[in-house]
């Protein structure tokens, strides 16, 4: 695994866009901007605008460095070297999502309420994109469905991520549609429960017990 500047064009572009948006809108924003909302989109938390921008950039930079370089510390490093580009693709999807959330935060500062439909669309796209690439993820300790059962076996890892990838992609698509139809975000999140329950617990546990009985672990 080698760090390459060519791979960093997308996250650097997102950071540059965030910087330009911050410089442009900072003077016109109120001194305090909303940072927390209840389930009905009403504001119930405020922060100084400089704290808001510093926090957003801190989250973005922290996520960038963490996701970019943490694979170098993975116990499965030798096995995932050839898939490092795929791990960086997951990083770019996450960075793009955080950039989208940043834009929603700026919009909320002007409108005084959060756009739940936009939040739902962003979350749905995040799930859809990551779900599509999950079946290709190599077994590792930082990306994907990391349970004791999936990490215990290459077979369980692969089968779980195939099923989980489909479930998350379908859930993401449904969340996007429901959000566009203005269904409240708290309702659309229930779409995720079957995907989390099946891929995160029931299916890998079933595979583990099955392989345990046949001494294939």
| Final residue before a domain boundary, out of 97, 114, 131 | 114
> Region 124-130: what's the mean pLDDT?
96
Residues 35 and 1 placed together within one structural domain of the fold: yes
pTM of the model: 0.89
> Region 34-58: what's the mean pLDDT?
79
pLDDT above 90 for 78: no
| pLDDT value for 157 | 96
| pLDDT value for 41 | 66
* Mean pLDDT over the full length of the chain: 89
> Region 64-92: what's the mean pLDDT?
90
> Region 116-127: what's the mean pLDDT?
93
Residues 86 and 133 placed together within one structural domain of the fold: no
Residues 103 and 143 placed together within one structural domain of the fold: no
Residues 177 and 71 placed together within one structural domain of the fold: no
Higher pLDDT, 39 or 28: 28
Which domain covers residue 63, as residue numbers? 1-114
Residues 26 and 72 placed together within one structural domain of the fold: yes
Tokens 């669309």 locate to 121
Distances (CA, A) of 32 to 25, 47, 116, 160: 13, 5, 21, 45
Higher pLDDT, 32 or 20: 20
| Structural domain count, the chain | 2
> Region 193-212: what's the mean pLDDT?
91
Query: How far apart are alpha carbons 107 and 21 in whole angstroms?
Result: 11
| pLDDT value for 217 | 62
Structure tokens at 149: 């059962």
Residues 159 and 203 placed together within one structural domain of the fold: yes
pLDDT above 70 for 73: yes
């Amino acid at each position: 695994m080698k760090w390459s500047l060519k791979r960093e064009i997308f996250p650097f572009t997102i950071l540059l866009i965030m910087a330009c948006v911050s410089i442009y809108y900072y003077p016109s924003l109120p001194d305090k901007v909303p940072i927390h909302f209840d389930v009905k989109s009403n504001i119930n938390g405020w922060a100084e605008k400089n704290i808001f921008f510093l926090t957003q950039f801190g989250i973005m930079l922290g996520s960038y460095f963490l996701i970019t370089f943490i694979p170098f510390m993975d116990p499965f490093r030798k096995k995932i070297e050839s898939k490092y580009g795929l791990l960086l693709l997951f990083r770019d999807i996450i960075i793009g999502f955080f950039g989208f959330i940043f834009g929603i935060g700026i919009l909320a500062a002007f409108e005084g309420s959060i756009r739940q439909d936009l939040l739902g669309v962003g979350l749905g796209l995040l799930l859809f994109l990551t779900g599509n690439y999950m079946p290709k993820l190599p077994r590792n300790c930082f990306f994907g469905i990391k349970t004791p059962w999936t990490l215990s076996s290459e077979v369980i890892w692969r089968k779980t991520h195939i099923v989980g990838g489909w479930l998350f992609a379908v859930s993401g698509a449904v969340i996007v549609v429901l959000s566009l139809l203005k269904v409240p975000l708290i309702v659309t999140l229930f779409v995720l429960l079957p995907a989390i329950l099946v891929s995160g617990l029931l299916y890998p546990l079933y595979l583990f017990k099955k392989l345990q009985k046949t001494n294939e672990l």
